[in-house]
Chains A and B, each alone.
Chain A
Amino acid sequence: MLAWLLSAALASTTWSGVPDTAGTVDAGEVVVRLPYGRSSVGLSEKTELMVIPLDVPLRGTRVGVEHEVGSTQTWTVSVVPSAAMKWSGGRVSTRVDALAARTWTHHRAHLGLSSDARLLRQTTLGETRTVAWSLERVDVPLTVAWDWMPDGASGRTMVRTKLRTPLHDEGEALNWLTAQAGWLRRCGAKQRLHIDLGVGTLVGQPTEHIFLGDYSHTLVMAWPRVDVWLQF
């Protein structure tokens, strides 16, 4: 069993900029979320540069850009190309997310399609030392999320339920999914403390090869997170 890290990032008062959620921060706005969250700077009204200092599954840092390709009062669609490198330099992930969100007064639905290609940098110790890159894995997950915002889109509390399943993953797909339930809250206006309490698990036949711990302890993993959010 595998529990996925809940995404904690909450951006502006409209909740835009959350991973798996279409939407960007405003131009010139800087949001820093540490230690796990996604930090962003608005490059324009439709584009933000984002950094995830700790990409847990890869054990590295991710950098990318989110660009809104279309938006109305209720709909937002964006694409997020990003790349991450493991701190050891041994793995690189190149990912593109296509995201759509539909917002109602107290609810929001999300649909996300991603393509993640992971490259392995293998150092071989033979009579001599050689280094070679190879394609290690291609993962194409589909994400569906549902947010409940009891105080509306500008409120302080959001309850998120998210399901994620691979359409393609090393020749096997759709035989497992991850289910998450999270509670997110923010405090204050500019300097905010985001508390994200959640639990995640994997249902079905896993092909995911990354364990976050001993399987006997990860059947259900509660994952409280605290991200400090500073807005300038």
Chain B
Amino acid sequence: MRVHPSVLLGGALLSGCVTSLRPFNDDFSEETPERALSLAVDRLSDVYSFTAWKGLDWPAIEAELSEELDENSDPDTIFRKLAQSMPDGHVSIWNDDRDRNPCPEADGSLGFRVARTDEDDLVVVHVDRGGSAAIAGVQPGDRFDGRAGSSAEDALAAAPLHCSPLGLATVDRQEAVAGVLVGRGPLGASVDVQIGGQALVLEAVDREGAWRHQLGLQAANERLSARMVGDGIGVLAIGWEDTVLSEEGFRRRLKGLWRQGARRLVLDLRDNDGGTDQTAANIVGTFTDRSWFYETITMYDRRTERQAEVSEVWVEPQELRWDLPVVVLVNGNTVSSGEGMAMMLARFPDVEVVGLEGTAASFGSAGSSMKLPGGWTMSYPAGRSLDRRGRIQLDSDASLTGGVQPTLPVPRSVDNLVADAQDPDNHLIELAIELGLGGR
């Protein structure tokens, strides 16, 4: 077959410079669990974007999980623990079998959730209506004293975090999920708990709801929503930002709020599930009149076996500009480009970020995955986000700190935590208006 030199030139440019920059999609599902674990750890130790940044010791992780696998031969737990060994909100693990019990250790609900206050107290912030705790008389605001003979702190520390299908990148995120898990147990089991100075025996019962939702790992239900909440105040919530549809929809709703009289804006990024970087940058560009550097995206280069810079993203002024007061609302489920938007907006003059907690600290580039035995699939980041100096931005480091912290943190008082648990749609919005827009 004849191939003309012009074809060879184009092909060489394309294959040599581009095809080495691809996410990994491995299939270890036909291997034995032991072999699959070894192959998975090999791959992750080679290509996971944050091994050094997060101080991960892959040989130690493999040794620990292998030993555990030899002892109890439960590959499901081992693969979930492998995922949880990466404190990263872009790591997730799921099973193809929807009927499979995602986590037998915590598939029953005791009917309460715990959180930590600014005073370092662990309190019950939510009680399920009609649940075991409610029947036993537990009230929101009661002090959590312990469980199964352990102190409250030890019970939290012993919570099976590997039940989370998402990586938990910060201490705050891990503690938030632990606060849910101490209120759960094996379905049908009776669990001793100490709450409000009382010793109670609560039965773990079946409660409906998606597993992710039960663990407080909500994702938004709607891409965009807008509403007026008071005199001249509009709330615009962004659930995810993936395409030009998000940009156009965002502008349309923003203009709609302005026409309805909104002159102050609450930009609600709670539970924002991320999306496309350029779309996020363009949404942020609605709030500025000049260019801002947003990030350099990197990806693992198979040819050099190192992270390679793929592209830069800038925030540019957009066709529509909002030149009125803005307050941004975040929570621990604000992840990826949702965090990126909060990061940039916090740098703008006159923009405040309000929340009970920081964001998910997971700004890497999603894309790689591996199939594991038993129907498990684990996804993990293929690249990083760097600031202008080339440093990793937002992703948590070895100390499990990172993300966007509120510039105006909402006090974690018992009243605020309980009110937020009872009325998540409105309580923080009211506080955001009071803290971030009061007097403006």
Mask, A166-180, CB within 8 Å of B = 1, is 000000000000011
The answer to whether A126 and B324 touch (CB under 8 A), given A120-B319, A159-B6, is yes
Q: Do A122 and B321 touch across chains, with their CB atoms under 8 A apart?
A: yes
Contact segment of A45-53, A68-76, A77-85, A211-219: A211-219
Cα of A118 to Cα of B324 in the assembled complex, Å: 27
Q: Does A197 sit at the interface, judged by CB under 8 A?
A: no
User: Is B322 within 8 A of A121, CB to CB?
Assistant: no
Q: How many Å lie between the Cα of A86 and that of B393 in the bound state?
A: 34
B6 touches which of A120, A161, A214 (Cβ 8 Å): A161
Interface string of B10-35 (1 = CB under 8 A from A): 11011001110111000000000000
| Docked complex Cα distance between A199 and B7 (Å) | 11
Instruction: Decide if A143 is an interface residue (CB 8 Å cutoff).
Output: no
Check if A88 sits within 8 Å of B319, measured CB to CB.
yes
- B-contact bits for A1-40, CB 8 A (1 contact / 0 none): 1100000000000000000000000000000000000000
Query: Beta-carbon contacts of B76-96 to A below 8 Å, as 1s and 0s?
Result: 000000000000000000000
B14: A residues at CB distance < 8 A = 179, 181, 199, 201, 220
> Among the listed stretches A97-105, A187-195, A202-210, which one makes contact with chain B, having 4 or more residues with CB under 8 Å of it?
A202-210
CB of A121 to closest CB in B, whole Å: 6
Q: Is the CB of B314 within 8 A of A209?
A: yes
Residue of A nearest to B313 (CB): A209
Which residue on B lies nearest to A145, using beta carbons?
Answer: B6
- How distant is the Cα of A207 from the Cα of B293 in the complex, in angstroms? 11
CB pair A215–B365 under 8 Å, yes or no, is: yes
Which residues of A are found within 8 Å of B21, using beta-carbon distances? 1, 219
User: Are A159's CB and B22's CB within 8 A?
Assistant: no
Complex: A220 Cα to B297 Cα, angstroms: 16
Are B311 and A122 in contact (CB-based, < 8 A)?
A: no
Q: Give min CB distance, B312 to chain A, whole Å.
A: 6
Within 8 A of A (CB), among B341-399: 365-367, 382
Chain B, range 106-154, C-beta contacts under 8 Å to A: none
Q: Which of B255, B366, B367 sits near A125, CB closer than 8 Å?
A: B255
A146 interface hit (Cβ, 8 Å) = yes
B211 at the interface (CB under 8 A from A): no
What range describes how many residues of A lie at the interface? 35 or more
User: Which B-chain residue is minimally distant from A146 (CB atoms)?
Assistant: B6
Are B319 and A181 in contact, with the CB atoms below 8 A? no
Across the interface, A124 reaches (CB within 8 A) one of B6, B316, B323, namely B323
- B9 within 8 Å of A (CB atoms): yes
Beta-carbon contact of A122 and B318 below 8 Å? yes
Interface residues of A in 86-118 (CB under 8 A from B): 88, 90-91
CB-CB contacts below 8 Å: B230-271 with A: 242, 244, 254-255, 258, 263
Distance in angstroms between the alpha carbons of A210 and B297 in the assembled complex = 15
Are B317 and A148 neighbours in the complex by a CB distance under 8 Å? Answer: no
Are A122 and B319 in contact (CB-based, < 8 A)? yes
B300: min CB distance to chain A, Å: 12
Q: Is the CB of B317 within 8 A of A125?
A: no
Across-interface contacts of A148 in B (CB, < 8 A): 4, 6-7
CA distance A112 to B6 in the complex (A): 18
- Whether the pair A1, B311 counts as a contact (CB closer than 8 A) is yes
Query: Would B7 and A161 count as touching, CB distance under 8 A?
Result: yes
The answer to the question of B413 belonging to the interface, with a C-beta cut-off of 8 Å to chain A, is: no
Taken together as a complex, chains A and B put the C-alpha atoms of A190 and B27 apart, in Å, by 52
Q: How many Å from the CB of B318 to the closest CB on chain A? A: 7
Which of A91, A134, A159 has most B Cβ within 10 Å?
A159
Interchain CB contact under 8 A, B321 and A125? yes
Shortest beta-carbon distance, A101 to chain B, in Å? Answer: 15
Tell whether, in the assembled complex, residue B254 and residue A125 are in contact, meaning their CB atoms are under 8 Å apart: yes
Find chain B residues with CB under 8 A from A120 CB: 317, 319
B309 contacts the other chain (Cβ, under 8 Å)? yes
Cα distance A175–B254 when bound, in Å? 37
* Closest residue on chain A to residue B243 by CB atoms: A213
A44 interface contact, C-beta 8 A: no
State in angstroms the CA–CA spacing of A214 and B242 once bound together.
8
Given contacts A209-B314, A211-B276, contact A216 B366 (CB under 8 A): yes
Once bound together, how far apart are the Cα atoms of A201 and B15, in whole Å?
Answer: 10
Enumerate chain A residues within 8 angstroms of B244, measured Cβ to Cβ: 59
B171 located at the interface, meaning its Cβ lies under 8 Å from any Cβ of chain A in the complex:
no
Q: Across the interface, which residues of B come within 8 angstroms of A160, CB to CB?
A: 6
| Given A199-B14, A220-B14, A125:B322 Cβ within 8 A | yes
Q: Which residue of A lies closest to B262 (CB)?
A: A125
Inter-chain CA distance A129–B316, complex, in Å, is: 20
Among residues of A, the one whose C-beta sits closest to the C-beta of B367 is A216
Residues of B within 8 A of A150 (CB): 4
Once the chains bind, are A216 and B4 in contact (CB under 8 Å)?
no
Residue B61 interfacial (CB < 8 Å): no
Can you list 17 A-B contacts with CB-CB less than 8 angstroms, sorted by A residue number?
A90-B319, A120-B317, A122-B319, A123-B319, A124-B321, A126-B324, A136-B316, A159-B4, A161-B10, A179-B17, A201-B18, A210-B278, A211-B277, A214-B276, A219-B18, A219-B19, A219-B310
The 5 closest A-B pairs by CB, nearest first: A181-B10, A90-B319, A211-B278, A161-B6, A216-B367
List the interface of chain A (C-beta within 8 A of B).
1-2, 59, 88, 90-91, 120-127, 129, 134, 136, 146-148, 150, 159-161, 179-181, 199, 201-203, 205-207, 209-211, 213-216, 219-220
Given A125-B322, A126-B323, A127-B324; 10 other pairs, CB 8 A cutoff: A2-B311, A91-B319, A122-B320, A124-B323, A160-B6, A179-B14, A203-B18, A209-B278, A219-B21, A220-B18
